[in-house]
Structure 1
Amino acid sequence: MEFKQLRDIKSWSIYFIVKLLLFVQGLLGFHLLANLGLVLILLLRLESNTFHRLRHASAVLLAAGLLYLDAQAVHGDSLLNGELLYSASLTTALISFVYYYSRRFIETSIFVLCGFLLVGLKQAGVPLWPGMNTQLAKQQVAVDAGKSLDETLQTTLDQFFKTAASRHHGYNPPAKPDFDIVFLSICSMAWRDLEVTGLDRHPLLERFDIYFDHFNSATSYSGPALIRLLRADCGQQPHESLFNTAGAGSGLARCEMFRNLSSLGFDEKLVMNHDGEFGGFLRQLRENGGIDAPLTAQQNLKVAQKSFDGTPIYDDGAALDHWLSQRSRAPDTPQLVLYNTVTLHDGNRLLNQKNVVGLEGYEFRARHLLDQLQVFIAKLEASQRKTLLVLIPEHGAGLQGDKMQLSGMREIPSPSITHIPVAVKLIGANRQGNEARVTADSSYFALSSLIQRITERDAFNSSGYSPAQLIDGLPTTQPVAQNEGSTVMRFKGIYHVSLDGGRRWSPYPGSR
């Protein structure tokens, strides 16, 4: 073969390189002989314009058919798979950019043929790159379960929700509680975000009594996350069920943690550092979460940031201090407080200081927030008011992207976004023994069950409480996370994703 013949496939390099990269990611099959056949057709040469046009038209048709065939090997009959199309569009854009600026200096067709060689070696069983081959993983699960991967995971998901639907608990404390419960709900803070910014060792995270090491937020969006928290007295519900109207008429009243705790004598309070209007957030809390308290007044609070839509975001320290000052005016009634902050939300603009953005901007805002929460805890301790303090972020920011999503994207609730730092502190109680860690997979029902135990065992008024005893035997929850149109679930140690309602599944690239 003459070297100049290789140049005839140069204009097709993007097509082959994109397919090869998607194959490496496990998002596309690669029929080696069929793709080589297309290359041979492209290399055919006759001095005839008619032959050239015919060859080109045939190659385009064959290329489209091959793409469908290769996609079908992983994604079944639907070529319009969101996972594949998103990765393909992103990869194509990147390769096109590189190709445009390097085509004068690099003979890209050589790389295409080298890629074919590597694929041949890989399919022959030679380990060339790390990662999971999607087809192999599907075959392995099918062997283990006696079904296809899709059937196995759909059955597993159905059984998960069936079991979750039977979970429920009530509250039966020995007397009216005499302590506050304060939830610190933080938008956009997962363990991965803290690790990327070096804040996973922040002193705040060492000040609690009980830690949940493997807590799953079950979603990557704020509204659904808060609804799941507010319905924590029942097991995990499917995403579409979150937007059923809450209240006694819907049959969901028994799930509504705030209303159930309020019936014990707690006075509900809703405090936020934003107005809650964007996306109908505040309306969702009321209609779907069952929270009845009015939003605490925000007049004269210090404005620290402006959100992407121009609305004010108030300083966390100022908002929490405002609640503390109001709290001191009604000392006899225990309060149930939900504090929600969007300080870390992407797109916020800092005021009265250098507006750092990106990773640096997130690290700056997160460090300041954690520092302010440290001060808030110190003030609670100094007040000597008995307080059950719960740190529970909504979801992560997705600072570090992966093979399916760019950094900052949260359409798919990947494990790096839904693994959040949840911790509990009993301020004013007599702790016996060391802090305790919940090491099993858990979610909102485990947190609600812990609160139930604290109220029923009267942990604040007994001679002492043991964190280890409080967490012993808490209910576990398999990691399942959903947004509208996407589900991520761990099965046999491997995370799988479905983008079509659970009909088709693929291993989530790089996640275990």
Structure 2
Amino acid sequence: MHHHTHDSASSTLLWNGWRGLGGWNFYFLLKFGLLWYGYLNFHALTNLVFLAWLLFPLPSLRLHRLRNGLSIPLSIALFWHDTWLPGMHSLLSQGDQLAGFSGAYLLDLTNRFINWQMIGAAFVLLVLYLFVSQWVRISVLVSLMLIWLNVMNFAGPSFALLPTKAATPEVARNVAPGEKAVVNSSDPLDQSAPPSSANLTAWLNRFYDSERQRVTEFPAALPADSQPFDILIVNICSLAWSDVDSAQLRNHPLWQHFDIVLNNYNSATGYSGPAGLRLLRASCGQTSHSDLYKPTDQRCYLFDNLAKLGFKQQLMMDHTGVFGGYLKELRDYGDLQAPLMSQVGIAPALTSFEGSTVFNDAQLMQRWLDERSKSNDARSATFYNLIPLHDGTRELGSSQTAAWKPRAQQLFNQLDSFLNNLEKSGRRVMVVVVPEHGAALQGDKMQMSGLRDIPSPSITHVPVGIKFVGMKAPHQGQPLTIDTPTSLQAISALVSRVIDGQVFNAPNVNMSALTDNLPQTPVVSENDNAVVVMYQGKPWIRLNGGDWVAYPQ
């Protein structure tokens, strides 16, 4: 009899240990709210485990308090894990660079990071929760909601809190043991298989395999009748079509100057260093991010291919190239050994976000033209990197970030008048304007404006213009626009097609014949811990090698 009462006493003690979630309810409600609007990359099971840990009955109040204390750092880590924010690894790898940012720029970033409307909405939610919880056991509702999300997540490929359009990213479904991952053998890059995690990974691996086979063929030597000319590759930081549109600069006269515009060009990365390396290695197919930092076939280096044919390598920048080891990377992994063209006597134009000088691009371009006119080298190939549009760039003497549109307008004007000066000079120059990546002026559900950790389509879809200055044939007045999906190899291919310089001599040039069958490249973009692919017309993303998720639109 005595034994029986002891049992019931302990079970009563355990029963009294049920305390509900208390303030943790608000934590989960906040997440449900963000999930509703598609702002979270929600991990349903991990959250359910956390809920169970919080609910587990503990008889002693001391243990209960200890658990609450331990749960605070856990909850913050879990919240971070459920957002699209870059992982700790990414932050640490960028940490040394963050240290170089100016205080004013860090403040500007913080201010952008705070979404005041969201803070207002969270406050309203808090008041509602405190009000309703007087009568309703919110813990029961929150627990049921989380269980439901887990069931939905387990049962189907995707779940939407709203039945109409999936606000939350759909998670790619893993193929069940009975199913086959469908592969169309005739075209390795066929996208008819359903977008499951396994299929997307397999497709990406096939993409890399097929890209490894691609090399631009350059002649072993120039033909006897070839005409000398210069190649100037203008690599602009932070300029995508989405930025051009949000600043309403699509009608700027600069775009009318070009003979060819690649309308559907993918820069394949959201960072400057990798963008430079991809361009310098444009003569081979697209590699993964990590392969950019490994030795590659000598035939991949565009500027080396040109140097072998007598094009003198040149390097020009409107900045020092010290930040992030940019210049060192070009030398070590892009095999660009040309000395940096002197910036002595060039006026400073702006101050970069980390406090270094951005030089006047109009003066630099004029210096390039003056030096080319004096030089004995018949042919040259110049890599020119410009950063006045980079996030956080300020007017001289100011600590505030300068507005992007006036900076872009000025740069477009400078490029425009430089092209006019080139025409007047009578020199033959192939000018290729190819941005590194966008400025992310808009931002989206995954990233606030200015962040480029995830190379989303709006960041990597950049405007590419090619202009043949000094042609005998008259300019068409309207550029020929190419709408097929292209990337870096298309630039290398175009250069190789005009390498003999005859395009400048011909009485008329058929631009569409010149651009016929340019190498096409499906949209695959990556930074060190994020890959974005276009699959069946929709962007999919994989973070830190995890599962594929539909990019929240």
Q: Shorter-chain TM-score: which interval?
A: 0.7 to 0.9
Residue of structure 1 aligned with 2:352, choices 307, 323, 331: 307
**Residues 412-427 of structure 1 aligned to structure 2 (within 5 Å):** 412-427=454-469
Q: 1:302 deviation in Å?
A: 0.5
**Residues 297-376 of structure 1 aligned to structure 2 (within 5 Å):** 297-330=342-375, 333-351=378-396, 357=401, 361-376=403-418
Q: Does 1:185 align with 2:235?
A: yes
* Residue matched to 1:75: none
Number of aligned residues: 482
* Residue matched to 1:138: 173
Aligned-partner residue type, residue 382 of structure 1: K
Q: Does 1:205 align with 2:240?
A: no
Measured against aligned partners, the alpha-carbon deviations of 1:183-225 in whole angstroms (never above 9, x if no partner) come to 1111111111111222233221222111111111111111111
Mapped contact 1:233–1:256 kept (Cα < 8 A): yes
* Residue matched to 2:548: 505
- More displaced, 123-132 or 463-472? 123-132
Q: What secondary structure, in the 3-state scheme, does the structure 1 residue paired with 2:503 have? A: coil
Change (3 A) 1:108 1:162: farther
**Residues 178-327 of structure 1 aligned to structure 2 (within 5 Å):** 178-245=228-295, 251-327=296-372
Mapped contact 2:362–2:415 kept (Cα < 8 A): yes
Q: 1:443 deviation in Å?
A: 0.4
Mapped contact 2:25–2:142 kept (Cα < 8 A): no
Q: 1:82 deviation in Å?
A: 7.5
Q: Does 1:27 align with 2:69?
A: no
Change (3 A) 1:488 1:97: same
Mapped contact 1:432–1:467 kept (Cα < 8 A): no
Mapped contact 2:26–2:126 kept (Cα < 8 A): no
Aligned-partner residue type, residue 312 of structure 1: T
**Residues 93-172 of structure 1 aligned to structure 2 (within 5 Å):** 97-98=119-120, 102=124, 106-107=128-129, 110=132, 127-128=162-163, 130-131=165-166, 133-135=168-170, 138=173, 145-146=181-182, 149-172=196-219
Measured against aligned partners, the alpha-carbon deviations of 1:418-470 in whole angstroms (never above 9, x if no partner) come to 11111101112215865322211110101111111122572112222111111
Change (3 A) 1:473 1:315: same
Aligned-partner residue type, residue 290 of structure 2: E
Q: What secondary structure, in the 3-state scheme, does the structure 2 residue paired with 1:162 have? A: helix
Q: 1:167 deviation in Å?
A: 0.5
Change (3 A) 1:204 1:95: closer
Residue of structure 2 aligned with 1:462, choices 492, 506, 509: 506
- More displaced, 454-463 or 187-196? 454-463
Cα distance in 1 for partners of 2:441, 2:242 equals 8
Cα distance in 1 for partners of 2:287, 2:81 equals 28
Mapped contact 1:10–1:109 kept (Cα < 8 A): no
Q: 1:332 deviation in Å?
A: 5.8
**Residues 11-22 of structure 1 aligned to structure 2 (within 5 Å):** 12-22=25-35
Measured against aligned partners, the alpha-carbon deviations of 1:305-352 in whole angstroms (never above 9, x if no partner) come to 122333221011111111111121126612211111111122222116
Aligned-partner residue type, residue 474 of structure 1: L
Cα distance in 2 for partners of 1:134, 1:400 equals 20
Cα distance in 1 for partners of 2:161, 2:125 equals 31
Q: What secondary structure, in the 3-state scheme, does the structure 1 residue paired with 2:430 have? A: strand
Measured against aligned partners, the alpha-carbon deviations of 1:216-263 in whole angstroms (never above 9, x if no partner) come to 111111111111111111111111111124xxxxx5211111111122
Cα distance in 1 for partners of 2:369, 2:264 equals 31
Gaps of 5+ in 2: 1-19, 89-109, 153-158, 183-193
* Residue matched to 1:435: 479
Residue of structure 2 aligned with 1:390, choices 418, 424, 432: 432
Cα distance in 2 for partners of 1:29, 1:261 equals 50
Mapped contact 1:141–1:148 kept (Cα < 8 A): no
Aligned-partner residue type, residue 479 of structure 2: E
**Cα RMSD for the two superposed structures:** 4.3
Q: 1:508 deviation in Å?
A: 1.3
Percent identity over the alignment is: 32
Aligned-partner residue type, residue 224 of structure 1: P
Mapped contact 1:431–1:467 kept (Cα < 8 A): no
Aligned-partner residue type, residue 393 of structure 1: P
Change (3 A) 1:58 1:231: closer
Aligned-partner residue type, residue 209 of structure 1: D
Mapped contact 1:435–1:468 kept (Cα < 8 A): no
- More displaced, 208-217 or 135-144? 135-144
Aligned-partner residue type, residue 417 of structure 1: I
Residue of structure 1 aligned with 2:530, choices 486, 492, 498: 486
- TM-score, scaled to structure 1: 0.80
Cα distance in 2 for partners of 1:160, 1:109 equals 55
Q: 1:66 deviation in Å?
A: 12
Mapped contact 1:304–1:315 kept (Cα < 8 A): yes
Change (3 A) 1:411 1:67: closer
Cα distance in 1 for partners of 2:443, 2:205 equals 29
Aligned-partner residue type, residue 304 of structure 2: R
Residue of structure 2 aligned with 1:408, choices 437, 446, 450: 450
Cα distance in 2 for partners of 1:276, 1:67 equals 37
Gaps of 5+ in 1: 1-6, 72-78, 246-250
Q: What secondary structure, in the 3-state scheme, does the structure 1 residue paired with 2:484 have? A: strand
Change (3 A) 1:109 1:269: farther
Cα distance in 1 for partners of 2:230, 2:284 equals 22
Q: What secondary structure, in the 3-state scheme, does the structure 1 residue paired with 2:513 have? A: helix
- TM-score, scaled to structure 2: 0.75
Change (3 A) 1:391 1:15: same
Change (3 A) 1:54 1:309: closer
* Residue matched to 1:3: none
